[in-house]
Amino acid sequence: MSYLQTFQVFPSVPEPLKFLETLVNNLWWCWNLEAIELFRRINPRLWEESGRNPMVFSTLIGQKKLDELATDGSFLSHMEEVREEFESQVLQPLEAAARQPDGGRRVIAYFSMEFGVHESLPLSAGGLGILAGDHLKAASDLGLPLVGVGLFYRNGYFYQYLNHDGWQQEEYPETDLNKLPVERVRDAGGNDLVLTIAGPEGPIVLKIWKIMVGRIPLYLLDTNIKENPPAIRDINSRLYHSEGKVRLAQEVILGIGGMRALRAMGLEAVVCHLNEGHSSFSNIERLAQLRSGFGVDLKTAREINARTTIFTTHTPVKAAHDEFPFDEVKPYLAGFEKELGLSADELLAWGRTDPAGKEELFSMFVFGLQLSQYRNGVSRLHGKVARRMWSFVWPDVPEEEIPIASITNGVHIPSWISIENSRLFDRYLGRDWWLKTWNTDLARRIEDIYDEELWRSHEMSRTRLIRHCRKRMVKQYGRRNAPKNIMKEAESVLDDNVLTIAFARRFAAYKRSHLLLCDMERFEAILHNEQFPVQLIFAGKAHPMDDEGKRLIQQIVHLARNPDYRHKILFIEDYDIDIARHLIQGADVWLNTPRRPLEACGTSGMKAAANGALNLSILDGWWCEGYTPKTGWAIGTGEEFADPFYQDAVESHALYNVLENDIIPCFYGRENGGLPLRWLAMMKASMQMALGNFCAQKMVFNYQQTFYNPAMAQYDALTRNNGAAAVRLKNIHDRLKRKWCAVSIEPPVGTGGAPLRVGEDLTVSTIVHLGEIAPDEVDVEIYYGRVKTVDSLTDAQTQPMIMKETLSSGVYRYECSLPCRAAGRFGFTARVTPRADSFIKYTPGLMTWA
């Protein structure tokens, strides 16, 4: 039958239960355990069958059950507690924001290609999306005026299943809108709000969905509408489409379409936060909006845009950064030529990866860097790696000064904590512990939890994990029509009382899932130790185009099918938020084996730590900051190797050593059959570390203090009086770029006693030629440090020089004293930079060395 007309029927909700309809339509419930328990207590079996999706769940509840609940005093009392929390955390702050002079219209716009809020919302592929979801939740908790901007994918990311040979297969089931708490964004007349973008094959028409994540609205752009032809409708069919032209169109829609959507809804993007380079095209549309909104020229608009844009990079893997051929990007930029007063070719140059201009590739990452002042990696080590990786964008700047900072990621702990641990924290830390552990000494109270209580809590989580794994394995084998004996075995895999190690992440070569399998003799000895048994749970997806990653999965699946390992090794298909939640709550050890320094952060380890799992990881990403001998174990000592095969051999042996000599004895070290006291002490230290230092509220607060607040202040200052301050900055910037060619600095000369002794000073002077630039427009600095090689320094520092005399027109003598604080061989040189903020100071070409 064709052209079926459909309609949805929901239960008739009795008046006393009306709040449930409000609760269902805001994803706030998914990080409030009392709200989750409210749904679950209605019918635990149906709650699980619905995939823990309240929209689906509500259609499965019989009318009779609802009528019973409407007179159930215990249920109504529980619901009233949840309603009071919801009103205080969501409704009242939203009403207060609406009463502000701007009516809540001035926002921080957070752009991301994916958002992982809950497993019922299939808009995430992995860590980047989960981080974005946690960012929105923490922004809601802290009351930031932030909105999320993303894409609505009708097929989302793929579902993973394995064939009989263990080879990953993908399927893309269509997302049912009736199962999501979404609503269309409408215009003042009540009609669907419609946007248009010029594309190479014709106009791309967009509509907007809205999902509330606590106080934060998440806006999702949709191309699958009747106004578009089939090819355009399919643009947003899949997350991270493998076809390059489609991927480019998605990123155009996210950036340009996202900015237009905000304007169409009457929202003013005071600050834009780009979560990776996918949304870098937002800069183009924002420049056009700034020009038309404030009547400024392009250069002035660029000064405003850069100082109010945050660009966060999440991966040090070069191949993960999108690059597109110029001829594919150009049609999208051609429509901006008149609005911006630049040709498409000139706009393309902002994203050129090759400074010499030989490669015709447009880098979304370089484009984002060029148009933002605030840039950061997602851990301290990643910031360092990013500075090295992208140093070619600033060829004259020393690597350690490359203007890419770091803010270490955090995880939204209420979304990931087990119900048992949450109850313990409520009792020992206070009901609102999750808002206070990061900026108080509250996390120290975890030490007060009785060992017996904590161990019992963890054992319950491990048991729940194993029960969940058994259900998943029965389902997996059943789908493959496995024999009855195999199905029966699947019902009893794993053991509730055995040391459980989890490895769950994207299967890519650099994640090295095989590191534990490099020496099968030692591996088998560990697995076959009957006195101190160990079991392993693996989960994760490989990219559909990554055959190497799929082979790694197949290797583990084949190993798990060996009768000797069938009860001790599992691979769980279709890794998602629900599986992740069970794993991080129930595992004893969280294993992470990336090839350093390719792990930008690795937030799954933070979630595990918050639940008392102990990390066993390469010193990469966040673990460089979180690791101490009290909180877990390190594999190696943070070395980086040129030979990956040698690196694998060294670190696999280090992994076995830690397992055999430290982890297994510690877990099973129980005097007189009691508790593993040293293990419990480490659990408590790990939990304190995660709650105090690696929660999403602390991360978002750091963004607020370091980036958001300064950017908002700059926006107000630079747009006041028709952009007068921005025009002044533009004039300064232009003048410096025009006049800088005359700047030169002679080699600095040191004068002082020889040899120098610790405690003495070395006086250094140099002659600086500034041409028409005044001395108060520049900084002249000595750059000094220990000699590393003939032409490089280590631990370099800068020392300001003072202008001592004018030698002639535009020529000056500068001088300073360098304190000799330590013995050794040191070197120095001198440089001239603009005396300005980082956007001007680090403009390529505006740094001159002696």
Name the pLDDT band for 318 (thresholds 50, 70, 90): confident
Mean pLDDT of 298-324: 93
Q: What's the chain's average pLDDT?
A: 93
Q: CA–CA distance from 187 to each of 6, 109, 212, 633 (Å)?
A: 25, 20, 18, 55
Tokens of 296: 């400024």
CB 734 within 8 A of CB 299: yes
pLDDT at res. 9: 72
pLDDT at res. 667: 97
- Please say if the pLDDT value at position 752 is more than 70: no
- Please say if the pLDDT value at position 4 is more than 80: no
Q: What percent of the chain has pLDDT over 90?
A: 82
Q: What percent of the chain has pLDDT over 70?
A: 98
**What residues form DSSP beta bridges with 460?**
none
Number of residues written out for the chain: 850
Task: Residue 747: count other Cβ atoms within 10 Å of its Cβ.
Answer: 11
Name the pLDDT band for 357 (thresholds 50, 70, 90): low
pLDDT at res. 12: 86
Name the pLDDT band for 281 (thresholds 50, 70, 90): very high
57-74 confidence digits (pLDDT tens)? 999 999 999 999 999 999
Name the pLDDT band for 358 (thresholds 50, 70, 90): low
160-208 confidence digits (pLDDT tens)? 999 999 999 999 988 888 899 999 999 999 999 999 999 999 999 999 9
**What residues form DSSP beta bridges with 778?**
834
505-547 confidence digits (pLDDT tens)? 999 999 999 999 999 999 999 998 999 999 999 999 999 999 9
Tokens of 671: 């005097």
594-650 confidence digits (pLDDT tens)? 999 999 999 999 999 999 999 999 999 999 999 999 999 999 999 989 899 999 999
Tokens of 107: 């926002």
Q: What is the pTM of this model?
A: 0.95
pLDDT at res. 6: 67
Mean pLDDT of 347-355: 86
- Please say if the pLDDT value at position 7 is more than 90: no
pLDDT at res. 647: 93
557-609 confidence digits (pLDDT tens)? 999 988 888 889 999 999 999 999 999 999 999 999 999 999 999 999 999 99
Backbone angles phi, psi at 832, to 5 degrees: -125, 130
Mean pLDDT of 85-109: 91
- Please say if the pLDDT value at position 742 is more than 70: yes
pLDDT at res. 102: 84
Written as one letter, the residue type at 51 is G
Task: Of 587, 385, 612, give the one whose Cα is nearest residue 469.
Answer: 587
Burial class from Cβ neighbours inside 10 Å (0-12, 13-18, 19+) for residue 104 reads middle
Name the pLDDT band for 795 (thresholds 50, 70, 90): confident
CA dist., res. 595 & res. 478, Å (int)? 36
CA dist., res. 707 & res. 309, Å (int)? 9
- Please say if the pLDDT value at position 1 is more than 60: no
Mean pLDDT of 815-821: 90
Name the pLDDT band for 97 (thresholds 50, 70, 90): confident
Name the pLDDT band for 753 (thresholds 50, 70, 90): low
Name the pLDDT band for 457 (thresholds 50, 70, 90): very high
CB 197 within 8 A of CB 206: yes
User: SS in 3 state form for 734-794?
Assistant: HHHHHHHHHCEECCCEEECCCCCCCCCEEEEEEEEECCCCCHHHEEEEEEEEEEEECCEEE
pLDDT at res. 783: 94
pLDDT at res. 143: 94
pLDDT at res. 563: 86
